[in-house]
Amino acid sequence: MGSMRTAYRRLKSGFGKTFRSLRYRNFRLFFIGQGLSLVGTWMAQVAMSWLVYRLTGSSFKLGLVVFASQIPTFFLGPLAGAVIDRRPKLRMLLFTQSFAMLQAFALTVLTYSREIQVWQIMVLAVFGGCVNAFDIPCRQSFLVDLIEEKNNLSNAISLNSLMFNSARLIGPALAGIVLAYTSEAACFLLNALSFVAVLVSLLMMKVHEHLHQAESRACLKASAKAGTTPSAPFPSGCCCSPFACST
């Protein structure tokens, strides 16, 4: 009996250490909201691929739509990182998640109407890619502001990775079930509704963010350029420069 109690205490202690970052209210809200939203996102990605192939029967057009959804991040990534560092991340996330929800509802309406065409899917895929170019780095950097004790930051990053990979497993599986019994529109609708969870969780947060000082347009351009060319020089007096003095 004593050995069972000892084993239970060890298990409870290990469980508490593994999920210790969830004791922070902001991170707990982020974890729940983003977890639900990511499941919906993966469902929508599977449904979009299925829809394009069903409409066209072309693997080339399917690859083209996937390419259209990813390429905006390649071009906008450096600029997005420079902008996000100088804007309140919570507000940025509210904007990006709202735009993503609008895209999901647009896909839902067009698919339910049975008048959706491949070019419309491609336009919405490009729009979603532009939103993700700002949303993904913003979510990743926002994580730092959710953990009050920075020694638990590595645990929060691990849990965030767990959440993402779990959604990548659960989302496509649920999409397959929904597609088997209903249609692609149902997946898009569930994805759109999943954004409600993340928006509510963001609105419930109380976050004290650390922003860079206001900077000139030249400094912002230099910071964006540094994202693609690490050796690019910073203008004199720019606070994003490694030689700038912080106050």
The structure tokens listed for 13 are 């202690």
Contact assessment for residue 117 and residue 240, using Cβ atoms and an 8 Å cutoff: no
Domain residue ranges of the chain, discontinuous segments joined by +: 23-223
Nearest CA to 186 out of 38, 50, 59, 94 is that of 50
Task: Tell me the CATH class for 23-223.
Answer: mainly alpha
pLDDT at 85: 81
Per residue, the 3-state secondary structure of 150-214, as one string, reads: HHHHHHHHHHHHHHHHHHHHHHHHHHHHHHHHCCHHHHHHHHHHHHHHHHHHHHCCCCCCCCCCC
Kindly report the pTM of this predicted structure.
0.78
Contact assessment for residue 92 and residue 211, using Cβ atoms and an 8 Å cutoff: no
Per-position b or e across 147-173, b if 16+ CB within 10 A of its CB? beeeebeebbeebbeebeeebeeebbe
pLDDT at 24: 86
pLDDT at 4: 52
The structure tokens listed for 98 are 């709202």
pLDDT at 141: 86
**Cα–chain center distance at 242:** 28
pLDDT at 2: 55
Could you read off the pLDDT tens digit of each residue along the chain, which spans 247 residues?
555 555 445 544 555 577 888 888 899 999 999 999 999 999 999 999 999 999 999 999 999 999 999 999 888 888 888 888 888 889 999 999 999 999 999 999 999 988 889 999 999 999 999 999 999 989 888 888 888 787 888 888 899 999 999 999 999 999 999 999 998 999 999 999 999 999 999 999 887 765 444 444 455 455 455 554 444 444 444 444 333 333 3
68 secondary structure, DSSP code:
H
pLDDT at 37: 93
Q: What are the residues whose beta carbons fall under 8 Å from the beta carbon of 204, sequence distance 6 or more? A: 29
Q: How many helices, marked H, and strands, marked E, lie in the chain?
A: 8, 0
Nearest CA to 44 out of 91, 96, 111 is that of 111
Contact assessment for residue 110 and residue 247, using Cβ atoms and an 8 Å cutoff: no
pLDDT at 108: 95
Nearest CA to 48 out of 165, 183, 167 is that of 183
Nearest CA to 81 out of 69, 68, 94, 92 is that of 92
pLDDT at 187: 95
Q: How far apart are CA 35 and CA 201, in angstroms?
A: 11
- Which element (helix H / strand E) includes 226? helix 217-226
Angle, helices 118-146 vs 25-56, to 10°: value is 160
